[in-house]
Chain A
Amino acid sequence: MLLNQFLLLGAVLFCTGVYGVIARKNAVMVLMSIELILNSVNINLLAFSLFNQNIDGNVFALFIIAVAAAEVGVGLALVLLVYRNRRSIALDELSEMKG
């Protein structure tokens, strides 16, 4: 196995997630795209962990999984709050702060 095949897989997943963050209007779909990005980062960390025979990459991957779980919990609570106040989670309608 080459190192690059894992890194390129992570790059493709990352770019797919970036496209999703830019293109999607539904807030839940944007959160799903962010999960794609975090998963691609985890693949990179574990690939370098195996490549360098160093366990630190595994520790960082576990930390990222925990942070992602916290992020999804708070993010979905925010989305629910926005939905309850506006009956919509379309991100382009949240334009009160536009000057």
Chain B
Amino acid sequence: MVASDIQVAQNIGFGIIAVTMIVAAIGVVTNRNVVHAALSLVVVMAGAAAQYILLAAEFVAVTQVLVYIGAVMVLFLFGVMLTRARLGREADLNNKNFVIGIPVALIMLGVMGWALIDGFHGQKMPTNAAPVTTKALSDAIFAPYLVPFWALSFLLLIAVVGAIVLARKD
């Protein structure tokens, strides 16, 4: 097996980004400070955007940065600021019986990991894949996926109107 088949550089990049993402994700669910947890979520989303670039999906990566890191995180920080008086550590962020979550997550991870390793063992990504161009992506969205795209537009409109109706003060 020659080096270009193993793709050493991509694998090193994947490893570094994946470890960073997992550490930050555990920070999101264990941190006692809500703002620090939100900032850990930024790290996870930026890592996900980097993985999308490794997966040859440039437009989705750019959209991830714009929508998640740009808009959704601002919404989360607004939510944190509007619902909490103080921004320091908080003792009671977890449920009383949060320990149940640990075996549930571990069992689920075990089952999914076993199924994935059993089902896709040794399957390789194509090494000479061309990146997905934005032109091809727009051709796919606006021809075969046009009706779902319309439905999604209405969903966003309904969500915006609903959020305004819910959150305004009469």
Spell out A's residues near B (CB within 8 Å): 1-9, 11-20, 22-29, 31-33, 35-36, 39, 42-43, 46-47, 49-51, 53, 55-56, 58-59, 61-63, 65-74, 76-81, 83-84, 89-92
Contacts and interface: CB of A to CB of B under 8 A. Distances in A.
A8 B116 contact: yes
Interface of B: 7, 10-11, 14, 18, 21-22, 25-26, 28-29, 34, 37-38, 41, 44-45, 48, 51-52, 54-57, 59-60, 63-64, 67-68, 71-72, 75-76, 78-80, 82-83, 90, 92-96, 98, 100-102, 104-106, 108-109, 112-113, 116-117, 120-126, 129, 132, 136-137, 140-141, 145, 148, 152, 155-156, 158-160, 162-164, 166-167, 169
21 contacts: A5-B18, A11-B109, A12-B22, A14-B112, A15-B112, A16-B25, A24-B93, A24-B98, A32-B28, A35-B68, A42-B64, A49-B57, A51-B126, A55-B132, A62-B60, A63-B152, A65-B67, A66-B155, A68-B67, A77-B163, A79-B79
Contacts, number: 246
A68 B82 CA distance: 21
A77 B159 CA distance: 10
A54 B14 CA distance: 22
**Chain B facing A: main interface SS:** helix
A72 B162 contact: no
Contacts of B113: 8, 11
B95 A24 contact: yes
A5 B79 contact: no
Nearest to B40: A32
